[in-house]
Structure 1
């Protein structure tokens, strides 16, 4: 009995001598209610050696400035953002696609007068004859044009809905994360969510960490892998995005598959468990 008490006292003293290390992580990419913030917090919760506290970056920095601050180890510890070759050169990308490629699945908004414009298309070549609308600074412009799709480049995002309403272009491809909320905000216009089509190109969103922050890179990576293995990654993902995914699955749609020239070559496309597949009826 005395021996057991001594062991307990020794363990208690060891804990007092080596308390759990606390560390604040400044995150650029969403507040505490966002999926991005919550999945980062969840990944870091697996670590036993450090009590990580994820805090939202409250300063002002455009996205590119945030990547530079991260690279210079100024103010920001983790950035959530899309995968590009340039960003991977600047900081370390933790190559687990946090949105499971969801942002690369697009549904067109169309003018109600052309509600069936996609319905009778029989090939990808016919699809490419249609005129897409895009904001001129978005990376989607390069994606579409590199696939030989005609693009009307607009200089005002809000004005694009009015332009579609007036028939200036055939369709406005929007992520399934935003297409229905877009429609709700512009229901006074003569536009609608198209019912027959999905447009897809591979897209990844990662956590970026400074190359020198080896411990944080290791801890986020191992935490995400643990969450994938025990199913909690998918559980959190579905809590945030399950409704939109199920809404897409309710309607049989043709899929037009595009390539993405922005996608870095080390994107883990071979790990099928990391990606969402909504492809119900591919086209040729």
Structure 2
């Protein structure tokens, strides 16, 4: 397709506008505006810089849609990095106002879920890490063959419950321990989201693990913003802002311009999917996400 004159300029202007809004919401200092609202969010974990920037930019843009009605906002990251479970504990306590995560029925009961998918279902597409020396994965394996092997997942992760529900054999470990369990042969493979896997492989000092060429698991696995129950007005504001960004296409344009998204899309293109059921989705989430069309679905 022939590129229209000025396309790069248009894309550049869109990115510039996103960054300016993010800067005004994220970098402003208290006192810079009258009645500025501080919103506490998690700090980024090592290796998640790119994704964290995307989420923080999206959050800033969504809240900025209603500045005229509610006033400006600044995002204040927590002083310390916390695990996902700790982040939800802080959300319960009200020391964190908003976080983001894969949704489950339990999380939706304990916090206010803003049911707008943040990654077009990207976290539901799982490639698998295997040992580079393991020739069993050189060819496509069937579901029965895969279930006969041993997967590893994190202790307490929603994905662990999904795989168990679908009849997979697995062991659990800590996040770092899961990689070691795969390396030392306690596990045969480690399912990872297609957008996470490149950064994870790059961060390892050894090159003993690779992405299996053929196998991709898929289940509905939306990521939402969650808001502390003590601030329902903040949840309503965020929902309104995300609805605006969804309707005008800015959410999709921002997501699909991200490097992590482009790499994941290219990795997934042409693969055959093993489709699984996710028992952790509430009826409300199923209904809310049914109208969202993921551009990734057109790859298969």
User: TM-score, length-normalised on structure 2?
Assistant: 0.75
What residue in structure 2 maps to residue 101 of structure 1?
Answer: 121
Return the offset for 1:249: 4.0
Q: Secondary structure at the match of 1:113?
A: coil
Return the offset for 1:167: 3.4
Contact 2:42 2:82 in 1 (8 A): no
Q: Does 1:205 align with 2:223?
A: yes
Give CA deviations for 1:38-80 in whole Å, capped at 9, x if unaligned. Answer: 11100011111211222212256554454344344x3322122
Contact 2:195 2:261 in 1 (8 A): no
What residue in structure 2 maps to residue 28 of structure 1?
Answer: 42
Task: Give 1:36-115 correspondences, 5 Å limit.
Answer: 36-47=55-66, 48-49=68-69, 50-59=71-80, 62-72=83-93, 74-115=94-135
List alignment gaps of at least 5 residues for structure 2: 1-32
Q: Secondary structure at the match of 1:194?
A: strand
Give CA deviations for 1:200-248 in whole Å, capped at 9, x if unaligned. Answer: 1211221122345343222211111111111111122123333223322
**Among 168, 183, 186, the residue aligned to 1:149:** 168
Return the offset for 1:160: 3.5
Rounded to whole Å, the distance in 1 between the matches of 2:81 and 2:152 is 30
Return the offset for 1:255: 0.6
Q: Secondary structure at the match of 2:40?
A: strand
Contact 2:116 2:289 in 1 (8 A): no
What residue in structure 2 maps to residue 248 of structure 1?
Answer: 267
Report the aligned-residue RMSD. 2.8
Rounded to whole Å, the distance in 1 between the matches of 2:119 and 2:78 is 21
Rounded to whole Å, the distance in 2 between the matches of 1:199 and 1:120 is 12
Q: 1:27 to 1:202 in 2, by over 3 A?
A: same
List alignment gaps of at least 5 residues for structure 1: 1-18
Rounded to whole Å, the distance in 1 between the matches of 2:57 and 2:99 is 14
Give CA deviations for 1:257-282 in whole Å, capped at 9, x if unaligned. Answer: 11122222211231133x3534755x
Q: Secondary structure at the match of 1:128?
A: helix
Rounded to whole Å, the distance in 1 between the matches of 2:298 and 2:188 is 23
Q: Secondary structure at the match of 2:195?
A: coil
Q: 1:165 to 1:96 in 2, by over 3 A?
A: same
Q: Secondary structure at the match of 1:195?
A: strand
More helix by share: 2
